[in-house]
Amino acid sequence: MVKKNAPASPCYLLLANIGQLLTLRGESAPRRGRALSEIGIIEDAAVLCGGGKILAAGPQRELLRDPWLKTNRKKVQELDCQKRVVIPGLIDCHTHPVFAEPRLVDFEKRISGAGYEEIAAAGGGIRSSVTAVRRLSRGELSTKVLTALNAMLEQGTSVVEAKSGYGLTLEDEVKSLEAIRDAARHWPGEVVATLLAAHVVPQEYAKKPNEYVRMVCDEIIPLVARKKLAQYVDVFCERGAFTQEQSERVLAAARKYGVGTRAHVCQFTAANLGPLLQHQPASLDHMDCVQPEDISLLARGDTVAVLLPGANYFLGHSNYPDARRLIDASVPVALATDYNPGTSPTPSMPFVISLACTHMKMSPAEAIAATTINAACALRLQARKGSIEAGKDADLAVFDVNDYREIAYWFAWDRCDRMIVAGQPAWSRG
Ligand code: NIG
Ligand code: FE
């Protein structure tokens, strides 16, 4: 069972005595429809890691019979999981961690009845986070990003997609992406950086939005591509942000310079997804108001619909993305926190899993597949991430529960107990 070409002198780690192991094994492709509930549970399991990879995962009694393990047992550090649940490290495929301060004025205004778009139109919203980001240094921003990444790790997350988007000048977007890169160097997990210069039209371009789009396409995207600062370009396609036509220009520029694409779309108003899908986005995110004719289009492709219920929760909305309709129509669906100061200030993927179950009628199994293998697909990392199978990266989250459904059940209660990242113990509670 154990691969014989295991590295010569690595640090081997055996996770033993696992009560439930959720392998998510199977095809490394987006899970759709009923397949989204197939989470590959093994009871009384063990996982052997070496050289940063998973070498074997399966029933413990089978794994312990392996001849390689028998003769090399002394080289292997053992971790007793005490019958807890082990799942793939969670993948937060949509976050905005490069900001300076919480937006407490917006928060109180919303409590008094104002809406998100209304607050943004009155000078709050995304634009109000920009001044502070422009003022902070790369080092100061990087400290903020690292604090958020560490909070995410403690909730079970080992891969994070991190967007810029509160700088909105060439210098400040580059500074934000460099802050992400600097923070990532001090974090055990993997960070995927995304340029979101097209988050909103900055104040100084308010009267000439197309000028700003031109600057994003002709100056910011080429420079970021040349410096290899981002794997993706994102755009906020929405009333009050960028039109469909402007969004397409941004995505076309990304492709011209060899950068992947993704988009915020259908958060408050419906859009026409066909033209956006021409730009082969890895994901379309929010998707609260998808038009019925676009659902079958999505079902035929590999673009993942990333649903962000933390934003609905925090904005106090009673409507949530229609996950059931998307899943039942075979659209690949993932979940993420959308960690940001305006709509979703939470680092917690287990909370998002809980919201998906209680407010979007996803089963706990579907929600876990949507935060592991399908979230890996949303970042096109599925060849290495998102499941616990020999050959994949050894990123594992240990939860202090006896049954995986408890991850969704206990909410606002940190049950992640320990993180293994790249085969190494990366964090443990207490
Ligand atoms: O995903 N929708 C656009 N961007 C964020 C909100 C950012 C903010 O309000 O600062 C989102 O919800
Ligand atoms: Fe977002």
Report whether 200 contacts 126 (CB < 8 A): yes
Residues of the chain with pLDDT under 70: 1-10
Measured CA to CA, the distance from residue 75 to residue 12 in angstroms comes to 7
- Per the rule left: phi > 0, alpha: psi between -120 and 50, beta: everything else, 213 is alpha
Per-residue model confidence (pLDDT) at position 4:
45
Atom number in ligand 1 closest to CA 106 = 9
Q: How far is the CA of 393 from the centre of ligand 2 (A)?
A: 27
DSSP character at residue 156: T
Pocket test for ligand 1, best of 264, 265, 268, 313 (most atoms within 8 A of CB): 264
Measured CA to CA, the distance from residue 398 to residue 405 in angstroms comes to 14
Q: How far is the CA of 126 from the centre of ligand 1 (A)?
A: 7
Q: How far is the CA of 399 from the centre of ligand 2 (A)?
A: 27
Measured CA to CA, the distance from residue 386 to residue 376 in angstroms comes to 5
Measured CA to CA, the distance from residue 326 to residue 366 in angstroms comes to 12
Pocket test for ligand 1, best of 338, 346, 352 (most atoms within 8 A of CB): 338
Measured CA to CA, the distance from residue 37 to residue 22 in angstroms comes to 11
**Residue type (1 letter), 240:** G
Q: Which of 64, 47, 60, 66 is nearest to 1 (CA)?
A: 66
Measured CA to CA, the distance from residue 424 to residue 426 in angstroms comes to 6
Decide: residue 32, CB within 10 A, 0-12 exposed, 13-18 middle, 19+ buried: middle
Q: How far is the CA of 220 from the centre of ligand 2 (A)?
A: 20
Report whether 261 contacts 233 (CB < 8 A): yes
The closest residue, in CA terms, to atom 3 on ligand 1 is: 236
Cα separation values, 5 from 9, 154, 193, Å: 12, 33, 33
CATH number for the 12-88+386-428 domain, one of 1.10.3720.10, 2.30.40.10, 3.30.360.10, 3.30.70.100?
A: 2.30.40.10
Which residues form ligand 1's pocket by a CB distance below 6 Å?
Answer: 96, 125-126, 129, 236, 264, 267, 311, 338, 340-343
Measured CA to CA, the distance from residue 117 to residue 200 in angstroms comes to 12
Per-residue model confidence (pLDDT) at position 11:
85
Q: How far is the CA of 88 from the centre of ligand 2 (A)?
A: 24
CATH number for the 90-378 domain, one of 3.40.50.2300, 3.20.20.140, 3.30.565.10, 3.10.110.10?
A: 3.20.20.140
For the CA of 107, the nearest ligand: 1
Q: Widest CA span of the chain, in angstroms?
A: 72
With tokens 């993948």, the residue in question is: 91
Q: How far is the CA of 230 from the centre of ligand 1 (A)?
A: 19
Measured CA to CA, the distance from residue 87 to residue 387 in angstroms comes to 8
- Classify 409 as helix, strand or coil: helix
Q: Which of 418, 410, 295, 399 is nearest to 358 (CA)?
A: 410
User: Per-residue b/e over 251-279, b at no fewer than 16 CB within 10 Å?
Assistant: bebbbeeebbbbbbbbbbeebebeebbeb
Measured CA to CA, the distance from residue 369 to residue 407 in angstroms comes to 13
Atom number in ligand 1 closest to CA 126 = 10
Name the β-bridge partners of 264.
Answer: 236, 285
Helix residue spans in 289-372 (DSSP H): 292-300, 309-314, 323-328, 349-360, 364-370
In the chain, list all ranges with CATH 3.20.20.140. Answer: 90-378
Per-residue model confidence (pLDDT) at position 419:
98
Per-residue model confidence (pLDDT) at position 430:
81
Q: Tens digits of per-residue pLDDT, 223-275?
A: 999 999 999 999 999 999 999 999 999 999 999 999 999 999 999 999 999 99
Pocket test for ligand 1, best of 92, 103, 126 (most atoms within 8 A of CB): 126
Tell me the pTM.
0.97
The closest residue, in CA terms, to atom 12 on ligand 1 is: 343
Percent of the chain with pLDDT over 70: 98
With tokens 């219920």, the residue in question is: 309
In the chain, list all ranges with CATH 2.30.40.10. Answer: 12-88+386-428
The closest residue, in CA terms, to atom 8 on ligand 1 is: 342
- Per the rule left: phi > 0, alpha: psi between -120 and 50, beta: everything else, 277 is alpha
Per-residue model confidence (pLDDT) at position 376:
98
Per-residue model confidence (pLDDT) at position 123:
87
